[in-house]
């Protein structure tokens, strides 16, 4: 049973280093109130994340895909406690942080970082690159003096493919790809073990996207980082991810190894999502029908399986009445579908 919202819980002892997954969430739900009555009581809510459980191993990349508005970014922010969960548990390095008060959470924040979608809006236009990177170093007490600070900033810039002299410039003096490299350097500054990459390449030119993806891969190999990689581009997710989770209207409907999910998807939504992706050869026959219709409003989701109004396999009296649980159908392959075969 989850701890009531707003009630701090005692800090649990973390697992020994290397024991268990780096990040594990269980039954996480996030509701947003959109309407209240005259007394301020919620009368209408949106379940942006609905009873999600998953884990990320040390040094692993978990890709997260789904249509716009399915709750991907909200889930990423909840995992970092940038947004508090309504229900559920978030274990980071073995410690449940879902209800930790800020004073106990703050020492852990340097171990969990985020790279945002828009590299320009995420950087303060009035701060130089040095000031941006040095701010994180000072907040967490990672440098002792100005000389050490400048050396660390220069090292961070070189690590992400920029030059030390770039530290004197402001964000508007860089290209989009360079700004995203600065955003990555800012995340690396505090020596994290887990990074949420929230659509990190969607605002970049196609010619630059591969460079940033390759940089993230190189940094993972070098530093042993774990990623939650959120993206719309299914080909990029396939390339960078060890495993992939598919979300639909706030729920995870399938999780599998990247090769298995792309090679043999089992949930009808995953099949349709992959069939809807553009392919280089337009004459190639698709094994599954592409996705049709629009995502239902999260304010009024369908009963039962929320995908059933768009599903070619939906069975009346079953799929429209009960929400299928996420069950294992093979080693490290889970599907939430009554009709998955």
Residue of higher predicted confidence among 13 and 23 = 23
Task: Locate the domains of the chain by residue range.
Answer: 23-111+191-279+286-335
> What pLDDT is stored for residue 283 in this prediction?
55
- CATH code of the region 23-111+191-279+286-335: 3.40.50.300
Mean pLDDT of 268-284: 77
> What pLDDT is stored for residue 329 in this prediction?
92
Q: How far apart are CA 301 and CA 205, in angstroms?
A: 35
Q: Could you give the dihedral angle defined by the CA atoms of residues 248, 253, 258 and 263, in that order, rounded to the nearest 10 degrees?
A: -100
- State yes or no: pLDDT of 290 exceeds 80: no
- For residue 241, the Cα-to-chain-centroid distance in whole angstroms is 12
- At residue 188's C-alpha, the angle toward residues 81 and 221, to 5°, is 105
CB 73 within 8 A of CB 228: no
Q: How far apart are CA 326 and CA 87, in angstroms?
A: 18
What mean pLDDT, rounded, does the chain reach? Answer: 89
Q: How far apart are CA 107 and CA 81, in angstroms?
A: 13
pLDDT tens digits, 236-245: 999 999 999 9
> What pLDDT is stored for residue 19 in this prediction?
63
pLDDT tens digits, 125-161: 999 999 999 998 998 889 889 999 999 999 999 999 9
> What pLDDT is stored for residue 18 in this prediction?
53
Residue of higher predicted confidence among 26 and 233 = 26
CB 327 within 8 A of CB 321: no
- Specify which of 52-61, 198-207, 229-238 reaches the highest per-range mean pLDDT: 52-61
Percent of the chain topping pLDDT 70: 90
Residue of higher predicted confidence among 331 and 194 = 194
CB 176 within 8 A of CB 107: no
Name the band, by pLDDT with cuts 50, 70 and 90, for residue 324.
Answer: very high
> What pLDDT is stored for residue 119 in this prediction?
79
> What pLDDT is stored for residue 6 in this prediction?
37
- State yes or no: pLDDT of 102 exceeds 50: yes
Mean pLDDT of 312-336: 93
CB 226 within 8 A of CB 194: yes
The 8 Å CB, 24+ separation contacts for 42-49 are 44/299, 46/298, 46/299, 47/250, 47/298, 47/301, 48/74, 48/250, 48/298, 49/74, 49/75, 49/78, 49/85, 49/250
- State yes or no: pLDDT of 16 exceeds 60: no
Mean pLDDT of 218-226: 96
């Amino acid at each position: 049973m989850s701890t009531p919202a707003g009630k701090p819980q005692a800090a649990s002892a973390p697992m020994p280093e290397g024991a268990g997954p780096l990040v594990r969430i269980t039954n996480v739900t996030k509701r947003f109130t959109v309407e209240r009555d005259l007394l301020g009581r919620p009368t209408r809510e949106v379940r942006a994340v609905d009873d999600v459980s998953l884990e990320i191993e040390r040094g692993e990349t978990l890709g997260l895909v789904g249509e716009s508005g399915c709750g991907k970014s909200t889930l990423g922010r909840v995992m970092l406690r940038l947004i508090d969960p309504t229900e559920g548990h978030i274990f980071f390095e073995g410690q449940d942080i879902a209800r930790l008060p800020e004073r106990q959470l703050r020492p852990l924040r340097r171990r969990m970082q985020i790279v945002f979608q828009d590299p320009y809006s995420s950087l303060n236009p009035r701060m130089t690159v040095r000031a941006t990177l040095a701010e994180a170093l000072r907040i967490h007490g990672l440098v002792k003096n100005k000389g050490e600070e400048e050396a660390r900033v220069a090292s961070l810039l070189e690590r992400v493919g920029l030059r030390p002299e770039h530290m004197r410039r402001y964000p508007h003096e860089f290209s989009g790809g360079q700004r995203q490299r600065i955003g990555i350097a800012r995340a690396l500054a505090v020596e994290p073990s887990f990074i949420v990459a929230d659509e990190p390449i969607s605002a970049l030119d196609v010619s630059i996207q591969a460079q940033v993806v390759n940089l993230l891969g190189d940094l993972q190999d070098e530093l042993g980082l774990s990623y939650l990689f959120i993206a719309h581009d299914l080909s990029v997710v396939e390339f960078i991810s060890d495993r992939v989770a598919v979300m639909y209207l706030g729920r995870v409907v399938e999780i599998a190894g990247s090769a298995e999910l792309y090679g043999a998807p089992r949930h009808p939504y995953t099949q349709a999502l992959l069939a809807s992706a553009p392919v280089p050869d337009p004459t190639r026959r698709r094994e599954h029908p592409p996705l049709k219709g629009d995502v239902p409003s999260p304010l009024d989701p369908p009963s039962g399986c929320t995908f059933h109004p768009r599903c070619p396999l939906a069975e009346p009296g079953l799929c429209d009445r009960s929400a299928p649980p996420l069950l294992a159908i093979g080693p490290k392959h889970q599907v939430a579908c009554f009709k998955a075969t």
